[in-house]
Every structure is written in structure tokens, then in C-alpha cells.
Amino acid sequence: MLILGIETSCDETSAAVVSDERKIMSNVLLAQLDPHIQCGGVVPEVAARSHLDSLDSVIRRALAEADVTLNDIDAVAATGGPGLIGGVIVGVTTAKAIALASNIPFIAVNHLAGHALTVRLTDDVAFPYLLLLVSGGHCQLMIVASPLDYRILGETMDDAVGEAFDKIAKLIGLDYPGGPHVEKLAQQGDPSRFPFPRPFFDKKDPEFSCAFSFSGLKTAVRRTLEKLGNLTDKDRADCAASFQYTVGEILKNRVLNGLRKCRDMNVPLTGFVVAGGVAANQYLRQSLEKIVMSQNLKFMAPPLDLCTDNAAMIAWGGIEKMRLRQVDSLSFVPRPRWPLVELGRAPS
Ligand code: KG4
Ligand code: ZN
């Protein structure tokens, strides 16, 4: 079975062909960086227009690179949300048109499920696993028990991790998207120079043991930079390193608490997975790997190019839904918000 996947929920226009035998036959990605760098962040209207301009040719390239035509495709999957709604509408409408014209099923894939299930495409991981999903819009710790069953142990009360990286980058004077730039700069900095706050560490209430908050950390970085005044290159690098180090300490602590919860609940975890754009950060990957291995658990993370948004993960999400006979009707309505916990409920 071959699935065409389409991803247009943020600023990457992507199309991919993936087989149910876990083979990525193509994964074409067009990052719309230039207009968004100029604005210091993604402008939804600009992103939607850009998806509209390029999606057709990106799909053509994905089919050509896979050496197939639409006649060989068994179903078409598109991100149905959550995301910037203009872009999601472009992807969903295109996928529906292809499904109608080719008389094949249309599948609306939850973008977060796409990130969450990528390790099953790359590593054939069995359920259940503990997942830390860290992207530009989300930060959640959850047990993934099936493609439709996500049990959230904790999530952010304010900013997402990627959002925090992007905001800190802006404060330090780095381009969008900030994550990779902060990571690079942090390599030259002193992570112990600025002791930034770690929210909820002193709270004994189990309700907060897996909760995240990054807005206080962001404010602390901003205040530190304001106090320093004219920043030297060393100030910038130390700030990036101290921020990244603190994020690492927060994530490790929350993951350890999550693993403890899973043990208390007798969840037979097959491993721990970190996914989403921020999972491309090597420092954070290595910190998490150490802590997870110290608990005698398998650590898994998608390869770097499958951590950030791409259509292969959406095609795979479509395959997982097809296997459960969960195809969608052409009246599916694109969703700006679509929490994972709603996936097990009545299909659209
Ligand atoms: O998953 P993703 O591609 O898009 C969303 O679904 O949000 O994640 C994008 C986020 C951005 O905030 C970006 O700055 C962050 O992931 N990111 C990183 C790194 N690469 C991307 N954050 C930290 N370090 C990185 N190397
Ligand atoms: Zn994403």
C-alpha cells in the first residue's frame, strides 16, 4: 500500500510517498524561510499563500522522486490540524481533490499524532511508550498506547519549548527559527553562568510533577539581558548555553517523574521517545538519552530530518489510521485546535 502525505500546517510545504512496509519513497520539503525570517516569525497569511503557490509542484516532485504516478497511490493523507488554519485548509482541500479525482480514500491526520508515531515508521516501536512531544506549539509528556490512545501525564501551562527557543533567539538577536541558532551559539557558551529558574521543582503536589512552564524562564532571560545592557558575544553565548542547559534540566526532571508515574501505574513501557522539532536539538537528545538509559529503558528519537515538520510522518499517520479502518469523509472540517485526547472519540 502506498500513501501520499501532505503537510502544510506551519511554514513547511511538504509531500511524501510512504509504503505500509515502512519505506519512505520520497519526502520533499520546501521551507518558506525567507519571508518569515524578515518578519522574525511565521506570518499565517503569508504561509497560507505560499502553500497555495507551491503545493502542486511539491506533490509532483514527491511522486516523481518515488517514481510513481497518482495511479499507484492507494490513499491520500493530509494534516487536518492542529495548525495555522489557512495552511491546513490548503493541504486538506488539495488532498480531498486528489482523493475525489483518483477515487481513493482521504485521511485527515492529526499533526501531533504524526510526530508521536514517527518512531513506528523509523524503528517499528511497539506500544505503549512514554513520549515527550516538544515542538513549536506543544510540550506534552504522554503515554502512547495506540494510534488513537494518548494519555497525557503533563503539559505546558504557557509557552511550548520551541516557542521559548524562538523567543530567546529573538531576544539574543538571532534569526527565525531560533532553535537551531540557539543550539549552535550555546556550544560556545558557559551553561553555568546564569542560574535560570526551574518551575515546579519545589512543588511536592503530584499534579505538577509532569507539568511544564517556560514563560518565567523566558522572562528571567529577558531581565538578565536587560541588566547586561550592551551585549558582548560572550554574554550572548553564555545566555544561550544557560537557557539550553536549564531547559535540559527541566525536561530530564519531568521525564524522570513521568517514568516514576508509569512504574506506579504498572504501564509496561517499551521505551521512551522524544519527538517534535525541538527533538532535533543534539544537546537535549543526549541529556535525555543519558537519564532514560540510567533507568534501564530504551531511548528512541526520529532522525533529525524527521523531527521537524515533514510529510512522511503525515503519510505514516495515514497508514496507521488505514490499518484501523479510520478513513475520513470529504466533509472533514480542518481544525485549528485538535487535542490528541480527542482522537479515540467518534470519527469525523
Ligand atoms: O515540530 P516543528 O517542526 O513544528 C511545529 O509543529 O511546531 O517544530 C518547530 C520548532 C521551532 O520552534 C524550532 O525553533 C524548534 O522546533 N527547533 C529546535 C531545533 N530545531 C528546531 N529547537 C531547539 N533546537 C533545535 N536544534
Ligand atoms: Zn510539528
190 in the same domain as 161: yes
**Is residue 209 in some structural domain?**
yes
Closest ligand 1 atom to 177 CA: 14
Helix (H, G, I), strand (E, B), or coil: what is residue 143?
Answer: strand
Question: Is residue 144 within 8 Å of residue 127, measured between CB atoms?
Answer: yes
Going by C-alpha positions, the residue among 345, 348, 341, 346 that lies closest to residue 116 is 341
136 in the same domain as 282: yes
Percentage with pLDDT > 70 across the chain: 99
Residue nearest to atom 19 of ligand 1 (CA): 179
225 in the same domain as 166: yes
Average the pLDDT over 282-289 and give the result: 98
135 in the same domain as 108: no
Closest ligand 1 atom to 115 CA: 1
**Is residue 272 in some structural domain?**
yes
Pocket residue to mutate for ligand 1, from 176, 278, 338, most atoms within 8 A of Cβ: 278
At residue 159's C-alpha, the angle toward residues 157 and 165, to 5°, is 145
Q: Say yes or no: CB of residue 166 within 6 Å of ligand 1.
A: yes
Average the pLDDT over 45-55 and give the result: 94
299 in the same domain as 310: no
C-alpha–C-alpha distance, residues 314 and 102, integer Å: 19
Going by C-alpha positions, the residue among 28, 168, 133, 5 that lies closest to residue 80 is 5
**Is residue 348 in some structural domain?**
no
Ligand sitting nearest the alpha carbon of 135: 1
Q: How far is the CA of 112 from the centre of ligand 2 (A)?
A: 7
C-alpha–C-alpha distance, residues 292 and 288, integer Å: 6
Q: Give the pLDDT confidence score for residue 205 in this predicted structure.
A: 78
Domain that holds residue 44: 2-116+306-342
**Is residue 190 in some structural domain?**
yes
Closest ligand 1 atom to 309 CA: 3
Q: In which order are the strands placed within the sheet that holds 106-110?
A: 24-31, 12-19, 2-7, 75-81, 106-110
Closest ligand 1 atom to 169 CA: 14
Q: Say yes or no: CB of residue 327 within 6 Å of ligand 1.
A: no
Predicted confidence (pLDDT) at residue 3 exceeds the cutoff of 60: yes
Q: Give the pLDDT confidence score for residue 89 in this predicted structure.
A: 98
Q: Give the pLDDT confidence score for residue 176 in this predicted structure.
A: 87
288 in the same domain as 146: yes
Q: Give 89-132 pLDDT, tens digit per residue.
A: 999 999 999 999 999 999 999 999 999 999 999 999 999 999 99
Q: Give 303-348 pLDDT, tens digit per residue.
A: 999 999 999 999 999 999 999 999 999 999 999 999 999 998 755 4
Closest ligand 1 atom to 83 CA: 6
Q: Say yes or no: CB of residue 278 within 6 Å of ligand 1.
A: yes
Cell of 5: 502525505
Q: Give the pLDDT confidence score for residue 262 in this predicted structure.
A: 97
283 in the same domain as 140: yes
Cβ neighbours around 341 below 10 Å, total: 11
Average pLDDT taken over every residue of the chain: 95
Average the pLDDT over 268-278 and give the result: 98
Q: Say yes or no: CB of residue 308 within 6 Å of ligand 1.
A: yes
103 in the same domain as 134: no
Q: How many domains does the chain have?
A: 2
* Residue 187 amino acid letter: Q
Question: Is residue 41 within 8 Å of residue 59, measured between CB atoms?
Answer: no
**Is residue 133 in some structural domain?**
yes
Q: Give the pLDDT confidence score for residue 347 in this predicted structure.
A: 53
Q: How far is the CA of 225 from the centre of ligand 1 (A)?
A: 23
310 in the same domain as 295: no
DSSP code per residue over 161-172 = HHHHHHHHHHHH
Q: Give the pLDDT confidence score for residue 346 in this predicted structure.
A: 58
285 in the same domain as 214: yes
CATH number at residue 108: 3.30.420.40
295 in the same domain as 198: yes
Predicted confidence (pLDDT) at residue 41 exceeds the cutoff of 60: yes
Q: Say yes or no: CB of residue 276 within 6 Å of ligand 1.
A: yes
3-state SS of the chain: helix, strand, coil percent to 5? Answer: 50, 20, 35
Q: How far is the CA of 316 from the centre of ligand 2 (A)?
A: 14
Predicted confidence (pLDDT) at residue 179 exceeds the cutoff of 70: yes
**Is residue 261 in some structural domain?**
yes
179 in the same domain as 48: no
Q: Give the pLDDT confidence score for residue 42 in this predicted structure.
A: 86
Q: Say yes or no: CB of residue 136 within 6 Å of ligand 1.
A: yes
Q: Give the pLDDT confidence score for residue 144 in this predicted structure.
A: 98
Q: Say yes or no: CB of residue 280 within 6 Å of ligand 1.
A: yes
Q: Give the pLDDT confidence score for residue 80 in this predicted structure.
A: 98
